[in-house]
Structure 1
Amino acid sequence: MKVPPEITYRNVDKTNALDALVKEKIAKLEQVCDYISSCHIVIEKIHDRPRSGSPYRVRIDMTVPPGHELVAESNPPDVNQYPPLEAVIRDAFHAATRQLRELARQQRESDKSRTNDSAQQTTALVIKLFPEQGYGFLKTLDGEEVYFHRNSVLHDDFDRLEIGTGVHCFVELGEEGLQASTVKIVDKPGVGAGKAEQTIVKPPLGWQE
């Protein structure tokens, strides 16, 4: 996990047993998905004497690259009269595990699809540039935002890029999310990049930066 998990106890006494249980469950989450960006767990007592259901609530907030936010929560209703806190914790982590497995499955299928289509280039437009830092962002015509580095631009053409420049590139899933490689300007040779009337690639209807 890139950022150490945050565990917050509210109106609940933190014990070694609870702490060990939570850390055990976090480790199992990382077995399902080993690139979780952050994880915040809140364990709280929301009622002293509820008429029904559990007095405890456990909420797990996770972020997973490239920009997924997952939330799992457990606050058993009256069908589970006063379950122990440990059971509520296990239930919340069980829900979080299901979500992570589904997301990991979707990402694997997406990655596999990109691998199968690797012979085909993607068309994109430059939407953000940071010349001094040497990187920028593209938006593909299907709306995905993709990071690229100066070194990924062919023919040392990074300095020719402007907002709105059309390019061809390959897109892959990196450690920080989608990233582009083999970025090639599609303007005609010798023409200044970024001129809307000279750009071969036209944005789709309704496209916005």
Structure 2
Amino acid sequence: MNVPVKVVYRNLLPQYKEGVQGEVRLLSGKLDKFHPDIISCRIVVEMPHKHHHEGNLFRATITLNVPDKQIVVSREHPLSQIRENIYVAVRHAFDDAIRQLEEYDLVKSRDVKDHDLIPHGVVSKLFARQGYGFIEGSDGREIYFHKNSVLDGFNKLKLGIAVRFEEEEGEKGPQASTVKILRTAPTYRRRH
């Protein structure tokens, strides 16, 4: 990468920091392939706090500044197999950053409109105590999501709120791997 990469480690034991440091440097070096005009890059790898009832989480947050835009991605993974999950959080954050850099390039080159990039819908069912819900997509399909896939915080969700999501195939059908709350309403009307 042509610009210096600032890496911050928070609340990590030294052995975890040493283990993931090489992975962070390797992955950050590949970002130039997807967008050569990165102005700055900051990466935070942390274990934010201890959840005594839910287990601990690892979080990787990447902040990229490119001309006319700041890209911020954050991924969390539960602490069940320590070494594996810290790497998963880091890799998924870099995958998200790369995807957003590619989308930024498409929009900048005007090959695609910004609102066409990621599917959107509304939260149609919410099971707060169990930590999951469903999104009704713009195509009318119902997509499952888990609280860990909500980037803005699961507790901020309400029925009918507009979201964008990344879809993948789960064990029982389609599911959202990431869910982002939209600040504006979607361009379609919800069916009753």
Normalising by structure 2, report the TM-score. Answer: 0.49
Larger Rg: 1
Normalising by structure 1, report the TM-score. Answer: 0.46
